[in-house]
Structure 1
């Protein structure tokens, strides 16, 4: 007899993968608005109830499909390396075709559903903000209020989101270098 946990039978990870893969491919093909639960279920070969047992809404499913956990386990040796790591990770996060298709719709959904924002924030923002805070001086002078992990991550994520999802840039390496130059030399002083 299959093992049961307190919420019922164990979920089949193959169904999860099929649904997430279907969601990603439909996003790229059709965009956020036209990627429906019905279309995802049909593409994945599962039922609507199977999807709703796993995710409470289309937005939650899309968020899971598009944005994996950001914890790389990589420890940067200093602030400069950490900034570079966060810029590269953020550009990678928003640079995929799936994320570019999903973000306009997800942003609207997050405004209406605070639980969606909280789940995404816990998986994406909070770990990165915590990492950044470990590299920033704790005794920052009042004249340097920008040395704050929230403002720093908001600047990186906002710039990457706008560049990837609104401007739809293709030169991600050039954008990363430009953002890095702007942030690093505004934080640590003149370029060596």
Structure 2
């Protein structure tokens, strides 16, 4: 009986940190649509809409953005384009864009929002295609850009009326 109790305690102890870490990962859909007024006040920003879908099972992240007519969108000649990319994250919120596309960091914010910070994260017309039009989520080279996104229903990430912003579940 002591042997079984010992194994149970070991198994439970091994599971508890994993459960706590899994709860800290921000699974689900987060979105932000920037108004024309916001973009006019922040001309360095080229992202007009952004969606992020987090999968807690494999810690993957799918990002989709509609580029505006300002900032890095103009600089990178992708104004008005729909761009997307995928990343793998660790349980601390550090995410690496696939195919050496840079990285970003996720931070919980107050309430139902999340902060995404990057100093270089590629986003392209097709994931991992460096030969196709692309941009950087960072507004300026070697500068940190922060986006605040808000929790939304998964439908806001998966079924969206705007073509190119659809994320795979």
Instruction: Normalising by structure 1, report the TM-score.
Output: 0.26
Instruction: Normalising by structure 2, report the TM-score.
Output: 0.28
In terms of fraction of residues, the more strand-rich structure is 2
- Decide which structure has the larger Cα Rg and report it: 1
